[in-house]
Amino acid sequence: MAYPDDYIKIDIKNPKRFGDVSLLIDRPDFIVELWDLRKKWNIDSKGIKKDNNKSWYAFPWLDEPKKLSKKQEQDALYLFNSLVYVEVGLNPIEEDKRLEKALKYCSEKIPQYASQFQFRFDVIQLRKRYKRYPNFDSIIAHALLYKNVTDSEYVTCELKLQYAGFDQSKPFKEPYPAIVFYPRATVEDITKIFREESEKILHEYETKYLNGKIFSPDTVSNIERDREWYWLHQLKLSYAQISELQTKQNGIASRDMVIKAIKRYEKLLAVNI
């Protein structure tokens, strides 16, 4: 059967999630807005064949991607995320103004990607008009570009770097790793994404914002004891005195054992950061 051009395919197994999508993308008023955006962005009425090597938020894709410095790449990532930052307490009009200001700033900061910023802005604005959570950005973009929405686009939770926001109203607030969850998220979803993504996002945080890996020693089973002996030694107790004190309180501890423990702790404190 040939469906009309307004039809968008949905490949989502969960009935509740399927309904969340279908009751948005089948709305007549929403369909009109999708067609307006397709016309604005010159998107074929049949949709675009999906290329898994191209992300929706980088549309319109460049034949020859602009080369950016490492700092510009970091700025671009920050600016992209600043577009979806929500400042608590803003009314809808204030929030629209904030988004417009963010778009203008992003486009001026990295003009070679102004069109990509504008496309993401259009998707966000459409999502906000229909009162959906940010996880619907990908759903709306896929409906718009590919006329197909799958389970992959219905994100229930994300492990990501959370950004302070475009206007930096809190100038000392830094990015931080966070789990963001949306309606329909389950404990299993959150556990799965933490297990699969936490190492990668922590590495990204350490690399981009700490400029190096956080030192995390292998398990040191006696670290409490080693620290106690280290501070006793800082109080000018000799190794022999610490050994004698330990033996009286908690069992035998030779002088050599005390020396090794304190040296081990000092070595951990002196790790190059």
pLDDT per position as a tens digit, 216-265: 666 567 888 899 999 999 999 999 999 998 887 777 788 899 999 999 89
Give the number of domains in the chain.
3
How wide is the angle at C-alpha 119 spanned by C-alphas 114 and 124, nearest 5°? 125
Task: Let me know whether 143 and 250 are in one domain.
Answer: no
* Structural domain boundaries enclosing 252: 223-269
The pLDDT value recorded for residue 167 is: 46
Instruction: Determine, yes or no, domain membership for 101.
Output: yes
- Structure confidence at residue 270 (pLDDT): 81
Determine the Cα–Cα distance for residues 270 and 9; give it in Å rounded to an integer: 59
Question: Residue 84 above 60 pLDDT?
Answer: no
**Are 251 and 189 part of one and the same domain?**
no
User: Is the domain of 243 the same as that of 262?
Assistant: yes
Please give the angle made by the CA atoms of 148, 151 and 154, to the nearest 5 degrees. Answer: 95
Higher pLDDT, 95 or 44: 44
Co-location of 196 and 261 in the same domain: no
Task: Looking at the structure, tell me whether residues 90 and 118 fall in a common domain.
Answer: yes
Does residue 208 sit in the same domain as residue 230?
no
Banded pLDDT at 269 (limits 50, 70, 90)? confident
Same domain, 184 and 146: no
234: in domain: yes
The two structure tokens encoding residue 15: 């009935």
pTM above 0.85, yes or no: no
**Domain check: are 127 and 227 in the same one?**
no
Residue that wins the pLDDT comparison between 255 and 99: 255
Q: Are residues 90 and 55 in the same domain?
A: yes
- DSSP reduced 3-state for 108: helix
Q: Is 235 helix (H, G, I), strand (E, B) or coil?
A: coil
Q: Which pLDDT belongs to residue 168? A: 46
Q: Are residues 75 and 196 in the same domain?
A: no
What does the buried/exposed string (b/e) look like for 42-81 if buried means 16 or more CB atoms within 10 Å of the residue's CB? ebeeebeeeeeeeebbebeeeeeeeeeeeebeeebebbbb
